[in-house]
Structure 1
Amino acid sequence: MTTTEPRFTGLSCYTSNLAGYLDSEFPGTAERLAASMRVAVRTDLPGGRLAFSHHRYPLDRLPDGGRLVWATGLAGEVEAELEAELRRHGRVLVVTDNAALPWSPAVGGSGHAPHWLLVDDRTAAGWHVLDGFQGVLPEGEQHPYAGWLTGADLVAAMTPPPGWSPVQDLRNALVFGHWLTPPLPGRPCWLRRSSAATAAEPVLPGRWRTGDAALAYLRDFVVAAGETAAEHLEDLWAVAQHQMFRHGVAGDPEAAAAWAGLPRALRFALDSARRGRPRHTLLRTTFDHLRHLERDRSAAALRRTGTAGPPEGSAMQIRSLYDWFQTSARQHPESVAIEVDSDVLTYAELWAAAERLSGAMHAALGRAPLRVGLLTSRSLVGYIAYLAALRLGATVVPLNPANPAERNLAITAEAGLDLTMIDDTSGDGLADYRAKAPVAVLNLTGDGWRRFLAPEPGQEIPPQVQRGPDDFAYIIFTSGTTGRPKGVPATHANVSEFLTEVIPRYRFLPGCRVSQTFEMCFDGSILAMFGAWGTGATLCVAQRGDVLAPVRFINSRRLTHWLSVPSLISFAKRLRALVPESMPTLRLSSFGGEPLSIEQVEDWTAAAPNTAVINCYGPTETTVIVTAYEVPSDPAARVESSNRSVPIGDIYPRLDHVLLDADLRPCDDGELCIRGPQRFPGYLEAAQNIGRFVAFDGVQGRLYDGTEPLTAEHWYRTGDRVRRESGELVHQGRIDHQVKVRGNRVELGEIEAALRVHPGVVEAVVVTVAAADGELDLHAVYTGAALADGELTTLVRHLPPYMRPRAFHHRVEIPLTEVDKVDRKRLTSELLAAQG
């Protein structure tokens, strides 16, 4: 029995007619489709091309357990095959060429595109077809259709042109929401029902952004692409139509109307761009309005039902940190994973060593540890232990061997460690730490640890422990204003989002050779370790002497990627090591942790002529780094900032950011606040969250005071002053008194608190002063009794060396500003003048 009109219209031709196919047999089709709809975009395709997946559930899987599969045949056999399918199921979906359909405005033209039709009857006169598609094509407006086609016309419409465009091939492959390779081109194609066992779990290969991150990416993509974004206008129209349908089924006409405005804004902006008048503000405003709308709906759903919406299907899963390594080990077992001094391990060897060492960790406690401290520096066994702890599902807590024992003992207690690994690089405070540590200590000093590099008879390997996305992967401890370090946990979801973003940005690939210049207690080490191990590249670990001679290390290891703080450039220059074209193997160099100057870039690129340079930025609380500015190779194209520093770029598309002034109102030059999937869940000690987060409604911020739960909607206050110049963010310094000294984050208040312990010290202020070599030195100014420098040095002996002032200055009084605040600028100027 034929249907006179399509029931589902306004969607893409695929979804409209698939809905019609399902609706006649399976109740609740509209609700099922609405629940499946999502915004997802793939961003790692060559040539800047995008791909879209509109459904989180695999729509080729039918409610009765069957599925839809591709079928092809010769032109002379098509009608018989379709009739057989029609007899079995009463309908069949066929793939046609839109330019061959009589009711299409593209008929007879060159606008060839795959187009689905629903066939629901056959008589001697021909085939009855339904087309629920309604939309505007380049050739004109197309409306829903119900009518008849002769057998010859249907077969002709099903006969494909010589080939679809790459964009259309992608649409075909992703039509069911996940990747399903279409049949070979050149033959008529349709979909038949199959009752065979369900195929393998669906996958989405490549790098995808979903939800809010997808909208942020599309906003920036369309703004940057200009006229060329027209290639994806149909995809973006489909995004809007699907979301209109979803909100329409949910009974939310306001949201549906908001999405209806996206296609209009896109067409207007593209038309304006063709006339030389791009509408960037309109595009940004439109996308950001939709982002806020979806967040509001998601938050309302969370309050109402306890869930923010349907979960993503298994096609896109958050990966644990260990899985990033393990996947590469399976794919590249014979590739070199790590080089430390003369030790070289392949992925298979490193994987096996981590399994064996995990057995020793398990045996030390009689169970899998929960939190493992690593008191180690750049040793091979330290890296093996990192992976072994992750394999057992433990949270890794790096301890700095340069710290006094008291500091590492305090971290041990606050982190709740149940096991600490030590080796020959554990530092001068090791004996004191071992004597006082309240936890089990796994002693890997000497060469005994090398037994893990080879199998031993009867050695037991404990089972691998899986962790969820919200479990902690690691905890980094940073300087705190109260004199106590602050524990910053990063979840597996935080790190997975970070790696998904940075791996393609940094062009990490199998065969790359990546420097490790950072200690594990510095979160830049995560970028090096798992940027390499997440892709099958080689991690080349620099010892302390190597870091101080970067050119020699880069050439001896044939590095392709260099990651470090910028001060190493200045150090190498002072040693006259940056000889022009002396580092030809480098392809990418990344600097972060402190300001990068144009002069440093020029010095480095002269010595490494084949390298790209990325300046990055990110607090530990937002998982390593959140911005990237790739310095143009052409000096004329570089942004020249007002403070002569290289811009930090823009916030990653998956994240939200806002600049707030002292009154927590949005501004163009203010404190950078960030939220999104890389933002940490809060400090280990909840009281330290107070004042460090802000609730922001788009108009006015409100400081987090700890009286309500900390949620993903809260913004982390970075304490960094930032402004946008020439489209890029430029770091303007700290709004508080936290500084970076040689790449290490230092809270000046912690040093000041240590000095004020002395009864003779009334006031203490610590400032940074630029030394002759361009580095920052710490200087302490105090009032009260004049004390010997040795007495003051004793007060800060428990601090790491980089936090100890270079000099102490006694003053009768501390200069103040007009509003009675410490005049740090004046102090700094006076100290600079005193040292000439």
Structure 2
Amino acid sequence: MTAAPQPELAGLSCYTGSLAGYLDGEPVDAAELLANSIRLAVRIDLPEGALAFSHHRFPLNRLPNGDQLHYAAEADPQRALAAITAELSRHGRVIVVVDNAELPWSPSYGVGPSAPHWLLLSTREEDKWHVVDPFSGLLPAGEQHPFTGWLSTESLLAALAPRDWAPEQLRRNELAFGLPVPVAGSGLTWLGRVQATRQAEDPLPGNWLTGCDQVLPFLIGHLERRLAESGPLLDDLWAAAQHHVFRHRWLGERAGVLGDLAGAARHESAAQAWASLPKALRFAVESASRGRPRATLVRTTLNHLLALETPPAPAYHAVSHHTPISTRDPEGPAMPTRTLYDWFLNSATQHPDNTAIEVSTQSLTYAELRAAVERLSGAMVEVLGRTPTRVGLLTSRSLAGYVGYLAAQRLGAACVPLNSAAPAVRNLTITTEAELDLTLVDDTSGDGLAEYRRDCGIALLDLTGDRVRELTSPSREYKETEVVPRGAEDVAYIIFTSGTTGKPKGVPTTQSNVDAFLAEVIERYTLLPTSRVSQTFEMSFDGSIVEIFGTWGSGGALCVAQHGDVFTPVKFVKAKQLTHWMSVPSLISFATRLRALAPGSMPTLTGSMFGGEALTMEQAEAWSAAAPSTRILNCYGPTETTVTVTGYEVPLDGSQQETSNRTIPIGDVYPHMESVLLDANLRPVDDGELCVRGPQRFPGYLDPAENAGRFVSFDGVQGELFTGGAPLTEKHWYRTGDRVRREHGTLVHLGRIDEQVKVRGNRVELGEIESVLRRHPAIAEVVVLTIRGADGEIDLYAVYTGGKVSDAEFAGLVEGLPTYMHPRGYHHREEIPLTTVGKVDRKLLTDQFVAVAR
């Protein structure tokens, strides 16, 4: 026996290498055929989370003369040898399926484990058989090298003897040609050559993801969830890596011949990256089995491959949504910042026929939505007389609002969503503060529309009544407009949050902020072109960004829930066949109280993301029971850090450890962000205020005066409060105001450091409510308390001193605030307790209030 390296075929799996040897006798360039066939596809709908891989884009069992290869089997060894000998006589070669642990040149010989292996037979001379095995690779028992030599009939029969292959091994054999070819019944197995039959119309039955842009992001999420159980998957991923190494080296060689040295270098870089994949994954899986998961290693390795496999961006700067930005992946090439419109336009270009949005009775494909956006862009320019810079959206869950958001982004304008349920005076204040030059209104603009029309003082794009039909059924031509390019630091949108001064506080988010966020969460949430995603948040709440643009950035369908749908999630999930749900956790409690969350009632959900307020263990358990196939991710992040900045996946096996406050952890800060916990003296602690910085941190408030006290510089030992006397830079950390502690190895949110709270997912500064109530001349002091009701929801109560005030007078005071900021009750006291240092003792006051209420 002698080793016989096969340089041209080095790196191929055993079946592809043997097939290449078989094709040497055919009028075809085997290496070129195989290189052009290679692609990555994975089936994701098999039981118990199993996967199947297909490595070829067309059926390789089809031969140039019209014949095809198919599996044959024979239980009787002598008849099997006779059939194989006859095949050799007719065609001069035959591929057999053997057990690798029975091959004398294999490191697994005699020690196992058993694994199916393809072997090329080229000659029989009496009692010995000439074999060619081009396979090379690292097996559990050691390294195997290519081999050519002779096997005795006894050794061949021992290797051919039937085995009870594992399900994943059988799947590999069936998909060896790129499409399912059923393995013959039990017995000694080989590949026979017969006249071709008609090919099935659907060569890949089932739910398949195809191409690196779909498969690699899915694998990131799959491996992060199941890393410790991924041992059987390593063989498939090794085969994928070997095929792509071969493909890139073949393409690189051809590029070099043509004088394209840059192309040759790119292919060599990709080949090296694929070659490193098996080693990185094996290390991560083995580490996970020892209780030390290396999810970051998996993510970094696969993201790097995505960057190398992603084609260059089109002229409008849209790139594949899976390409990591340079700040996330220092090994990858530097990529331009994608604007919100780029994220949408890339999907509209790649998936024009996919459903983009379903709202009420209307449904638009990406091509149709893009056309509507282009028409509305022209309408905006016509109404204003120029390109807008900041566009208000006074709408609620309407098609006009979504098209308007995209049209504004297309024209390079910043979007400022207005809450149609808020009083007109609040929206008028925001209009002035944000310096809007155009606001879009429609039939969902709310009761304050008339007052807003009268007092806003800016141009209005009126889509009320039948005018909205112009979006999808145009009766006239609009002026054509070009896409306005935007830079990384240009503002994408402005969200107004509650402020301590009694007026809303503007939080601008840049294109680079939201690009870094979407690049993280689209992969983290496994959003794909096949996804159907709920839209439950109003646009004036920044949680809507991940729903809307996470979906449009991945080519999925955005399914808009109307107000009634939000409170009956099961009905909505079933009606829309949703794969992903996003909302505040309080909807779980609401549905539970209505007994509308039966076990197993949402089987289509594969991903459920909650944020905006604490997710309790009881809520997570109820949702998991209703959606047994879903991943539940608890997300956290202030608006100032672009929607969410941490994530935690609830274990599906019920092994979640109880936290000190029985809420689900918020998880670790995203890997491209930095975080630190600081105490009141701005020194690092294990239980303190969470401070963050990085590409998702906003550039500072719309009113620079608001920045003072909200940022801190930190040298690793001592922090220094930002006072506004010097420029705010990217090195400053944003103070979230949230108290966080690490428990059981992950972060747990313990509440607000200041007096800001979340009420039904809406951020509320208690100080804003108090400042409004203090306007009454009879009130001396007022404190707004947060009391958790029996249903787990936060309720607001006001306690005050001074003269008594009637309920009607209180109603008049708060009428300018959103409804969720109205206290449920107003309670008069003679005095309010203070701490020893003279501050309001909120804890004692709350305890006293609860004791009286009981």
Please indicate the TM-score interval, normalised by the length of the shorter structure: 0.5 to 0.7
Shift of 1:167: 7.6
User: Residue 495 of structure 1 corresponds to which residue in structure 2?
Assistant: 514
Specify the SS of the correspondent of 1:802. Answer: helix
Cα 1:373–1:202 change in 2 (3 A) is: farther
Counterpart Cα distance in 1 of 2:467 and 2:338: 33
List runs of 5+ in structure 2 lacking aligned partners: 1-41, 50-133, 137-141, 147-234, 274-280, 302-326
User: Residue 694 of structure 2 corresponds to which residue in structure 1?
Assistant: 676
Query: Is the aligned partner of 1:409 residue 2:460?
Result: no
Counterpart Cα distance in 1 of 2:242 and 2:732: 37
Q: Is the 8 A contact 1:639 1:647 kept in 2?
A: no
Deviation per CA, 1:647-698: give whole Å up to 9, x if none: 1111110100000011100000000000011111111111101000000000
User: Residue 429 of structure 1 corresponds to which residue in structure 2?
Assistant: 448
Query: Is the aligned partner of 1:379 residue 2:398?
Result: yes
221-230 or 342-351, larger mean C-alpha shift: 221-230
Q: Is the 8 A contact 1:516 1:539 kept in 2?
A: yes
User: Residue 787 of structure 1 corresponds to which residue in structure 2?
Assistant: 805
Alignment counterpart, residue 605 of structure 2, candidates 558, 565, 586: 586
List runs of 5+ in structure 1 lacking aligned partners: 1-43, 48-96, 100-108, 114-163, 210-216, 238-307
Shift of 1:830: 2.1
Shift of 1:602: 1.3
User: Residue 828 of structure 2 corresponds to which residue in structure 1?
Assistant: 810
Query: Is the aligned partner of 1:554 residue 2:573?
Result: yes
Shift of 1:549: 1.3
Shift of 1:834: 2.5
Q: Is the 8 A contact 2:669 2:675 kept in 1?
A: yes
Specify the SS of the correspondent of 2:770. Answer: helix
Counterpart Cα distance in 2 of 1:229 and 1:611: 21
Query: Is the aligned partner of 1:751 residue 2:769?
Result: yes
User: Residue 625 of structure 2 corresponds to which residue in structure 1?
Assistant: 606
Query: Residues 328-477 of structure 1: matches in 2 within 5 Å?
Result: 328-456=347-475, 458-477=477-496
Specify the SS of the correspondent of 1:447. Answer: helix
Q: Which amino acid aligns with 1:538?
A: A
Query: Residues 613-652 of structure 1: matches in 2 within 5 Å?
Result: 613-635=632-654, 637-652=655-670
Deviation per CA, 1:611-669: give whole Å up to 9, x if none: 1111111100000001111100111x212111111111111101000000111000000
Cα 1:580–1:168 change in 2 (3 A) is: closer
Q: Is the 8 A contact 1:204 1:315 kept in 2?
A: no
Deviation per CA, 1:420-454: give whole Å up to 9, x if none: 00011111111111100021111111121111213
User: Residue 726 of structure 1 corresponds to which residue in structure 2?
Assistant: 744
Counterpart Cα distance in 2 of 1:728 and 1:326: 37
Q: Is the 8 A contact 2:251 2:264 kept in 1?
A: no
Counterpart Cα distance in 1 of 2:355 and 2:300: 43
Q: Is the 8 A contact 1:721 1:733 kept in 2?
A: yes
Alignment counterpart, residue 317 of structure 1, candidates 321, 336, 346: 336
User: Residue 712 of structure 2 corresponds to which residue in structure 1?
Assistant: 694
Specify the SS of the correspondent of 2:689. Answer: strand
Counterpart Cα distance in 1 of 2:407 and 2:265: 29
Q: Which amino acid aligns with 2:708?
A: I
User: Residue 120 of structure 1 corresponds to which residue in structure 2?
Assistant: none
Shift of 1:316: 2.3
Cα 1:205–1:476 change in 2 (3 A) is: farther
Counterpart Cα distance in 1 of 2:300 and 2:374: 47
Alignment counterpart, residue 818 of structure 2, candidates 800, 821, 833: 800
Counterpart Cα distance in 1 of 2:527 and 2:539: 20
Q: Is the 8 A contact 2:339 2:515 kept in 1?
A: yes
Specify the SS of the correspondent of 1:181. Answer: helix
567-576 or 452-461, larger mean C-alpha shift: 452-461
Counterpart Cα distance in 2 of 1:607 and 1:619: 29
Cα 1:610–1:165 change in 2 (3 A) is: closer
Shift of 1:459: 3.0
Q: Which amino acid aligns with 1:651?
A: V
Cα 1:583–1:173 change in 2 (3 A) is: closer
Alignment counterpart, residue 773 of structure 1, candidates 791, 794, 799: 791
Cα 1:665–1:380 change in 2 (3 A) is: same
Alignment counterpart, residue 703 of structure 2, candidates 682, 685, 689: 685
Q: Is the 8 A contact 1:172 1:182 kept in 2?
A: no
Counterpart Cα distance in 1 of 2:380 and 2:285: 47
Query: Is the aligned partner of 1:577 residue 2:611?
Result: no
Counterpart Cα distance in 2 of 1:112 and 1:407: 74
Specify the SS of the correspondent of 1:702. Answer: strand
Q: Which amino acid aligns with 1:571?
A: F
Query: Residues 238-253 of structure 1: matches in 2 within 5 Å?
Result: none
Cα 1:397–1:221 change in 2 (3 A) is: farther
Q: Which amino acid aligns with 2:644?
A: I
Shift of 1:365: 1.4
Query: Residues 503-542 of structure 1: matches in 2 within 5 Å?
Result: 503-542=522-561
Q: Which amino acid aligns with 1:183?
A: W
TM norm structure 2: 0.65
Query: Residues 140-151 of structure 1: matches in 2 within 5 Å?
Result: none
Q: Which amino acid aligns with 1:755?
A: L
Deviation per CA, 1:741-796: give whole Å up to 9, x if none: 00000000001111111221111111111223221111111111111121122111
Shift of 1:355: 0.6
Q: Is the 8 A contact 1:769 1:831 kept in 2?
A: no
Query: Residues 119-268 of structure 1: matches in 2 within 5 Å?
Result: 181-183=248-250, 192=256
Q: Is the 8 A contact 2:288 2:294 kept in 1?
A: no
Counterpart Cα distance in 2 of 1:706 and 1:172: 57
User: Residue 62 of structure 1 corresponds to which residue in structure 2?
Assistant: none
Aligned residues: 602
Specify the SS of the correspondent of 1:819. Answer: coil
Alignment counterpart, residue 715 of structure 1, candidates 726, 729, 733: 733
Specify the SS of the correspondent of 1:504. Answer: helix
Counterpart Cα distance in 1 of 2:531 and 2:293: 33
Counterpart Cα distance in 1 of 2:757 and 2:503: 17
Cα 1:514–1:229 change in 2 (3 A) is: closer
User: Residue 665 of structure 1 corresponds to which residue in structure 2?
Assistant: 683
Q: Which amino acid aligns with 1:547?
A: V
Counterpart Cα distance in 2 of 1:361 and 1:796: 35
Q: Is the 8 A contact 2:412 2:483 kept in 1?
A: yes
761-770 or 659-668, larger mean C-alpha shift: 761-770
Q: Which amino acid aligns with 1:689?
A: N
Specify the SS of the correspondent of 2:740. Answer: strand
User: Residue 155 of structure 2 corresponds to which residue in structure 1?
Assistant: none
Q: Is the 8 A contact 1:376 1:422 kept in 2?
A: yes
Counterpart Cα distance in 2 of 1:423 and 1:540: 20
Specify the SS of the correspondent of 1:356. Answer: helix
442-451 or 738-747, larger mean C-alpha shift: 442-451
Counterpart Cα distance in 2 of 1:478 and 1:566: 20
Shift of 1:168: 11
Cα 1:435–1:230 change in 2 (3 A) is: closer
Q: Which amino acid aligns with 1:631?
A: V
Counterpart Cα distance in 2 of 1:547 and 1:205: 48
Counterpart Cα distance in 2 of 1:829 and 1:225: 47
Cα 1:778–1:572 change in 2 (3 A) is: same
Query: Is the aligned partner of 1:741 residue 2:741?
Result: no
Alignment counterpart, residue 479 of structure 1, candidates 491, 494, 498: 498
Counterpart Cα distance in 2 of 1:231 and 1:553: 34
Shift of 1:190: 9.6
User: Residue 189 of structure 2 corresponds to which residue in structure 1?
Assistant: none
Specify the SS of the correspondent of 2:554. Answer: coil
